Structure 1
Amino acid sequence: MLALPGLWILGVLAWELIAPHGTQVVQLLAAAPVIACAGSGRRQCVVLAGLCAVFALAPFGPVARLDHGARLGTCCAIVAVAGASYSITRRRRRLVRDLERAREIADTAQRLLLRPLPPRLDGMTLAGGHLSVSEGTLVGGDLYEALATPHGVRVVIGDVRGHGFAAIATVAAVLGSFREAAYDEPRLADVLRRLERALQRHLGERAAAEGKDAKERPPGEEFVTILLLEVCADGVVMALNCGHPWPYRLSGASGRRARAAPVGRGDPMPPLGLFPLPPELPVARLTRLHPGDALVLHTDGAEDARDAAGAFFPLARALAEAAAHGAPIVPAAVIERVQAALLRHTGGRLSDDIALLVLRNDRQRAPSPSPAARLARSGSGPRRQGAAS
């Protein structure tokens, strides 16, 4: 670590010895402590400052006839430069330690917010991944969660308008509400209503903290796209969609080429926050996952990613290629390969946050519940007396 300042001192001394009469280069020794503090550390700065001061005072070479006052002034300048460099380096190290501590706390908080998914959940293998457009953040405006509840495996994926730290607070409000409502509410429709109330409450509290009236907020300023799923015991997937992209189904039975097909029909409801939810929510039968099939959920950043020429990312083809590495489909490997393909396609320059979630059905075939029972549980059928509103 002392190589660069040491070479500098040797160069100045050599120049001092061979310089013609009247040339003064000893003052250049003052740069050595600065170089040492910038690259090596404070102790090396002090040591080199002492050496440079001694060399500045020692009369040698053709310039030995210089008056002692000039050499003493050079020595004082070296000491002053060394003291300033030492102080700056000490302050810089303290700031670096504070920054590392703050980053560690922020990383922990973000991992608790968008916590890693368990590898298995109630007979399903799953994996999630996230790419944030904001440098230095693990979480952006995207959210996802999967929970095993008494009502089935419930999954949410969403996209908050915008990204960065402002969006993280909204992600926290929506995810916190889902983690409670998914267990408490038997009907999928009521889970979505809980999410809407939590979002409105959060936006109102934030507006009050900023000294604004929540009613005066421009329409469309804050909203969240939400895809809410419930995977039943027989593999049937029920869905509620508020402005979110429909998922893909990966089917890759042994000996057959993996296929990625979009599932979901019709236009989704508007995103949460734009308009109130309708009185009756259209819970849809999305698809049925056979054993070995997988469902891929994503945010719109995946399909909207572009390369330098403006071409969109071919998500369906990338999913099929990621799953075409033998049976069974491995969710974690699909996430890793698709993320790598996204970064190659965009050259590492993302324009939006991207979240991916893959669920593989490992359950054995189970008897299907009646359609009436499934609709009643999801919330699109007649309400039972006493059901929560």
Structure 2
Amino acid sequence: MNRTSAEDDSSADSTVDEPVSWGFVECAVPGGLLSLVITWELTRPRSARDTLDARIVTCVAFVAVVAYLLARVRRAALELDEVRAVARAAQETLIRPLPSRLDGLALAARQISFSRSADVGGDLYEALVTAHGVRVVIGDVRGHGLPAIGAVAAVLGSFREAAHDESGLDGVLRRLDRAHQRHLRQRPAQGDQEHDALTAEEFVTVLLLEIGVDAEVRALNCGHPWPYRLGRDIAPLAAGEPLPPLGAVPLPTELLPWSCGPLLPGETLVLHTDGTEDARDTEGRFFGLRDALAVAALAQPPPTPATVVREVHAALLHHTGGRVTDDMALLVLRNDRALAGPG
């Protein structure tokens, strides 16, 4: 799970409800059995061959066995906590918390990981101020959890350099594609057929946005859902057919960014991964992201990006009953440049 600095007040509820701790169950069951055996040994009718000393020896032996099992459980729980802490640190290093303001834009973001063993997901996002404007990436690596970290690191690392170096979004996208291809080639060696099959299935959806000084929005989309624009109404930022995801097929020779018009003062963009709209309730109904955004947009005063993220997150968990089947990420930005100059 990742959050922005604007969301610290709601960080406590940013993870999916955890099930009852297995450590508690594994301690309670042996403890209960221990109590039953000791009670039975000390209170059952004595036989001619039975003595109190024999019963005490039996109880002590059983206590020793249970103590050993509890020590094993405790050690396993400590190791699991350590693994989670390392995974959380890795995730926060890869997907850094976004600032609440960036060059006159207000931002907020949140991620929900499908993995319960660690707060690590296959979704990625970043926003940077560059000489070419504010550049934003959001993407979704096929898969989730620890196996997706390598691809997330490759794509984000490449974006953080290319966003500053490349004058056009097409150059940025080609750098991301090359980084992803290098990641696939550097995977541990496997059988040829198995490696080819895995490589063909490991793709990344990517959406690149550039918001210029004039607030003009340009985009390149490789298999990712289009963001929603919240202004006078709620509509997708563009209606064009995206390119295939990175890694699925080679990029075309010519890459022309979409011109999406200006982001007017007060307008908001809601970027999301497909896990958000694909989330289902117990009856198989999909989550209505657009409806949730409509409810959030009616709030008075107009909601901040952090409020939109929080409201959508709460509505999604209510819809799914806290059960998620895929990683999900939201990134919301609003043009506040008319209220406060770039800085």
Aligned mates of 2:91, 2:198 — CA distance in 1: 29
Say if 1:292 and 1:328, in contact at 8 Å, map to a contact too.
Answer: no
TM-score normalised per structure 1: 0.72
Say if 1:323 and 1:330, in contact at 8 Å, map to a contact too.
Answer: no
Aligned mates of 1:158, 1:189 — CA distance in 2: 16
Shifted more, 154-163 versus 194-203: the winner is 154-163
Per-residue CA deviations over 1:1-45 (Å, capped at 9, x if unaligned) read xxxxxxxxxxxxxxxxxxxxxxxxxxxxxxxxx979738xxxxx9
Say if 2:84 and 2:118, in contact at 8 Å, map to a contact too.
Answer: no
Aligned mates of 1:285, 1:332 — CA distance in 2: 27
Higher relative contact order (CA 8 A, sep 6+): 2
Partner of 2:134: 153
Say if 1:219 and 1:274, in contact at 8 Å, map to a contact too.
Answer: no
Aligned mates of 2:172, 2:110 — CA distance in 1: 24
Which residues of structure 2 form unaligned runs of 5+?
A: 1-26
Is the aligned partner of 1:195 residue 2:169?
no
Partner of 2:317: 343
Per-residue CA deviations over 1:313-340 (Å, capped at 9, x if unaligned) read 2221211211221244311110111111
Is the aligned partner of 1:301 residue 2:270?
no
Is the aligned partner of 1:171 residue 2:159?
no
CA shift in 2, pair 1:334/1:212, >3 Å: same
Partner of 2:229: 249
Per-residue CA deviations over 1:102-145 (Å, capped at 9, x if unaligned) read 22122111121222211111111101111222223323221111
State the secondary structure of the residue aligned to 1:209.
coil
Say if 2:271 and 2:330, in contact at 8 Å, map to a contact too.
Answer: yes
What code does the residue aligned with 1:222 have? E
Aligned mates of 1:62, 1:111 — CA distance in 2: 58
Aligned mates of 2:76, 2:195 — CA distance in 1: 42
Partner of 1:319: 293
Deviation (angstroms), 1:360: 0.7
State the secondary structure of the residue aligned to 2:261.
strand
Alpha carbon RMSD of aligned pairs, Å? Answer: 2.9
Say if 1:229 and 1:238, in contact at 8 Å, map to a contact too.
Answer: yes
Is the aligned partner of 1:110 residue 2:91?
yes
Per-residue CA deviations over 1:277-320 (Å, capped at 9, x if unaligned) read 11210111123111111111111222222333333222212112
Is the aligned partner of 1:131 residue 2:124?
no
Say if 1:251 and 1:292, in contact at 8 Å, map to a contact too.
Answer: yes
Match of 1:329 among 282, 298, 303: 303
Partner of 2:239: 265
Aligned mates of 1:63, 1:271 — CA distance in 2: 74
Alignment of 1:199-214 (within 5 A): 199-206=180-187, 208-212=188-192
Report sequence identity in percent: 53
Highest Rg: 1 or 2? 1
Shifted more, 213-222 versus 179-188: the winner is 213-222
Match of 2:333 among 352, 359, 377: 359
Aligned mates of 2:52, 2:145 — CA distance in 1: 56
State the secondary structure of the residue aligned to 2:209.
strand
The number of aligned residues is 310
Aligned mates of 2:281, 2:79 — CA distance in 1: 38
Is the aligned partner of 1:99 residue 2:49?
no
TM-score normalised per structure 2: 0.81
Per-residue CA deviations over 1:34-82 (Å, capped at 9, x if unaligned) read 979738xxxxx9xx9xxx79x96xxxx9978x66862221121122112
CA shift in 2, pair 1:310/1:271, >3 Å: same
Say if 2:139 and 2:273, in contact at 8 Å, map to a contact too.
Answer: yes
